[in-house]
Structure 1
Amino acid sequence: MSAVTPREREIIGWMAQGKTAAEIGTILGISPITVNTHIANAKAKLGVFKETALVAAALRNGIIQ
């Protein structure tokens, strides 16, 4: 399992707060497509397929609190 990047960690944190890709993009000043790319990369690194599973895996692995 590769380590998630700081940006991926940041995006997962916003996801855990219920933000959409569009909202996260606005907050971070990047496009929703870029947000979705970071999400897809993080899901691959953590071996999950759904966004809810990504947040759960991040919590479980101490990536976010």
Structure 2
Amino acid sequence: MSAVTPREREIIGWMAAGKTAAEIGAILAISPITVTTHIANAKAKLGVFKETALVAEALRNGIIR
């Protein structure tokens, strides 16, 4: 399992707060497509297929609080 990047961690944190890709993009001043790419990369690194599973796995592994 590869470590998630600081940006991926930041995006997962916003996901856990209930933000959409468009909202996260606006907050971080990046495109929603870039947000989606970071989410896809993080899901692959953590071996999950759904966004809810990504947040759960990140919490479980201490990636986010």
Identify the TM-score tier after normalising by the shorter chain.
over 0.9
Shift of 1:45: 0.1
- How high is the TM-score relative to the length of structure 2? 1.00
Shift of 1:20: 0.0
Shift of 1:29: 0.1
> Which consecutive unaligned segments of at least 5 residues does structure 1 have?
none
Q: Percent identity?
A: 91
* Runs of at least 4 residues off by over 4 Å: none
Cα distance in 1 for partners of 2:57, 2:37 equals 18
Equivalent residue number for residue 26 of structure 1: 26
> Which consecutive unaligned segments of at least 5 residues does structure 2 have?
none
Shift of 1:26: 0.0
Cα distance in 2 for partners of 1:50, 1:15 equals 12
What is the DSSP-based 3-state SS (H/G/I as helix, E as strand, rest coil) of the residue aligned with 2:2? Answer: coil
Residue-pair matches, total:
65
RMSD over equivalenced CA pairs, Å: 0.1
